[in-house]
Structure 1
């Protein structure tokens, strides 16, 4: 087999590209290649025990499925030490789709359960470098996206939201330089897939995403606490950035950040397709009306059901490819109801239309709830979350 054929047969997962030969990511292979660990039932039970909170459905159902040094964070927490959370968003679109909400929904659970502070990075600089957008537009989109993030319910007394174009400088920039000095171009090529044809902005950006992993980047939050641990909830395509960060951290006197990583959220047309802002029918957006949600799910959500009712009653549905089931797995809270739907649908007693009807109800409620919360977010609230200020109650 030629080298090109071998390469073509491999799945590609980087922060900018996710693809697989058959369109379906092999997560076991990915975990093995990246060198992270699977989250097992013992870790889920331990989180529930330490926080005295029921584990989030994303944990119960293996949606957040992999980690780096999560047990180390839990050990320290059990011993009475604190940590902080760091997650982010690249603001390239006016409104978020449901896939964008996943890390924020989970991060809110972590913030509430562990009662710890959170920094949220809005990489408006990254989107200027990667997308055909002006700096002014990137800054505007960052504020608009911040409103959707705030609408997820974060605690302003424990949360600092910042945009790179506004915040980078001082101690943050010093940490960027410390990282940049210790990562070679060959490192970037190996970890992130940077090529000689990429502009130098793509080479200079990775230290920007690394710096929030270190508490000294936020002297107004963590003065004199340079060894505070960081836990990063993110999708697994962001892992390469933090492999780089974890390699560098000990060299500059910091703790390695820990990660808790999620699977990808599928497009309506199935895992072999991609959610795209250029195709509004590939995703459910937080701005969609209940009518739009109903139309998108009924028309575009890929079904694992059979071609006819008779055949479906006989053979049942293929749950492995059925998008309505995958979406219910993300968003239907009741485990018993989800198990019942899966069983009935798989055995042919429940039809695709019935499953889609239940999904439409779940998504319509979720989106309407988000829209109500978003409508309450003012410019003054955005300013409050973005204000560079101490958070005296952040560990309260």
Structure 2
């Protein structure tokens, strides 16, 4: 029996499990603060996750620090669950996990979060309105859920424009391929609708949540911005900003933060985000900062004083709690509710039970990886849906629904017919796991190499026709961006005002 098996032995009551969970959580925090060996920290975290699963099975409730179980709580009688299907997935802005090898049950998540499914009718309507073939992420359900997208399209058809907002929490220098998903799709939206975009780099958030210095978080923001710039957004319609800089440079932005803060209570943020009395006040106030870019007058250099322009936010579904809060506040402070498009999670190489992590090099394909590293990671770590032997695989076929290599191809292989042929061949046994991995390797290697070439052209020195005051990040030969990283004077009204 491993250390993570039978963790509930000797803890037969909910309260005993709760106390073990509290102690284990404290142990994890202590190990991270002491910068213990990664293997020791990983083992402690794994045990914590197992304890949480046992607590949920015993009480029928998710564990929340500072909220002990009531005395009469008992285990739910839901009958047997196959392959983790009876477990409720853990999805919040900081944790994503499931016991199901196929990944998170997104249909259940739609019901739980109260959003709407992106169905064929909506995909067809987007195609009619924008006059373009739907992006593969829409065709394949990578973006699967929405809030008020029909309202956005209604307004657009009446010649009322909107703007896009997405973001990145810079927790490391290098981004991985999973981080590209919202930016790839957001670029497509910007191109087909020809609209402005703001990109928030939440370096302040990472300082609150991670064991990093302010300087490290800001440096990571600059490095991540270069990868974002290399995606090729429209220079004249894109503004990338660091919270650590922009909060001090834009009174209008900060005024919106204050308005939001006044209309959200501490009990509300505790209920939405699970904050406890031991969390720093920076965490408690941060949701208002992530909400503020949803409102057009937060960017007077783009939209002037206009506050009636609706925002559309493409993001992963784990960010939805921030914007449920935002949508609740918006009418009370006189602003339109932002609309949202939610994506699924990009799975770790080890399987779809969790998303990729920037802190685990072997769980991810990084944008800095060499062709050899990409090949080795996929061959060694990519979870397979194939059988144990070639003979069995030829006879019974593989399971594409749990195979990570096939999952990655659904994100990055453009050809629908080829993707379906790969699925059929793998399921029938005609295509072996090694052959499937080879297709993924040959898909990712040139894609990442091209990204690296574009990123090399992004420099701190060149201003691409901008004035030289302040530090500017731009890229030559690509669609260029202005990244404000130091002085208020560097913010220029480079984006055209919307003409609605």
TM-score bracket for the superposition, by shorter chain length: over 0.9
Which of 332, 350, 361 is the aligned partner of 1:251?
A: 332
Q: Which of 364, 367, 372 in structure 1 is aligned with 2:453?
A: 372
Asked if residue 359 in structure 1 is aligned to residue 440 in structure 2, the reply is: yes
> Partners of 2:497 and 2:434 in 1: how far apart?
46
Aligned to 2:92: 14
Cα distance between partner residues in 2 of 1:50 and 1:393? 22
Q: Distance in 2 between matches of 1:134 and 1:178?
A: 28
Q: Within 5 Å, give how 1:340-355 maps onto structure 2.
A: 340-355=421-436
Residue-by-residue CA offset, 1:307-339 (whole Å, 9 max, x unaligned): 011110111011111000000000000000000
2:176 paired residue number: 97
2:491 to 365, 388, 392: 388
Tell whether 2:189 aligns with 1:110. yes
What residue is the counterpart of 2:367 in the other structure? 286
- Which stretches in structure 1 are left out of the alignment for 5+ residues? none
Which of these residues, 124, 142, 167, is aligned with residue 45 of structure 1? 124
Question: 1:318-337, aligned counterparts within 5 Å?
Answer: 318-337=399-418
Q: Cα 1:395–1:347, aligned 2, differ >3 Å: closer, same or farther?
A: farther
Q: Distance in 2 between matches of 1:195 and 1:115?
A: 43
* Structure 2: distance between partners of 1:157 and 1:18: 36
Task: Work out the CA distance in 1 between the residues paired with 2:95 and 2:136.
Answer: 27
Aligned counterparts of 2:310 and 2:430: Cα–Cα separation in 1: 50
Give me the whole-angstrom Cα distance separating, in 1, the residues matched to 2:98 and 2:497: 42
Unaligned runs of at least 5 residues, structure 2 = 1-12, 15-54, 63-86, 464-472, 475-480, 484-489
Alignment of 1:94-243 (within 5 A): 94-168=173-247, 169-243=250-324
User: For 2:161 and 2:403, how far apart are their aligned partners in 1?
Assistant: 41
CA distance in 1, matches of 2:494, 2:115: 32
Contact 1:231 1:258 in 2 (8 A): yes
Count matched residues. Answer: 396
Structure 1 distance, partners of 2:97, 2:348, is 13
**TM score, norm. by length of structure 1:** 0.97
Contact 1:301–1:323 at 8 Å: present in 2 too?
yes
Is the 8 Å Cα contact of residues 98 and 286 (structure 1) preserved in structure 2? yes
Shift of 1:52: 1.4
The one of 297, 303, 306 aligned to 2:384? 303
User: How many angstroms apart in 2 are the aligned matches of 1:116 and 1:197?
Assistant: 42
Q: Note if contact 1:157-1:394 (Cα within 8 Å) is conserved in structure 2.
A: no
Alpha-carbon distance, 1:393 to partner: 3.9
Tell me the C-alpha RMSD between the 2 structures.
Answer: 1.6
TM-score normalised by the chain length of structure 2: 0.77
What's 2:42 paired with? none
- Measured in 1, the distance between the counterparts of 2:322 and 2:126 equals 26
Distance 2:497 2:135 in 1: 22
SS at match of 1:119: strand
Is the 1:51–1:113 contact (alpha carbons within 8 Å) kept by the matching residues of 2? Answer: yes
Report the alpha carbon displacement of residue 224 of structure 1 after superposing the two structures with TM: 3.1
- Separation of aligned partners in 2, 1:54 and 1:44: 10
Alpha-carbon distance in 1 for matches of 2:177, 2:498: 30
In structure 1, how many angstroms separate the alpha carbons of the residues matched to 2:496 and 2:371? 39
C-alpha contact 1:14 1:193 (8 A) present in aligned 2: no
Q: 1-side partners of 2:354 and 2:89: how far apart? A: 14
1:174 Cα deviation (Å)? 0.5
More contact order relative to length (CA 8 Å, sep ≥ 6): 1
Residues 199 and 231 from structure 1, CA distance in 2 versus in 1: closer, same or farther, beyond 3 angstroms? Answer: same
Bigger-Rg structure (1/2): 2
In structure 2, relative to structure 1, the CA distance for the partners of 1:146 and 1:44 (3 Å cut) is same
Cα distance in 2 between the residues matched to 1:200 and 1:69: 32
- Equivalent pair of 2:230/2:455 in contact (CA under 8 Å): yes
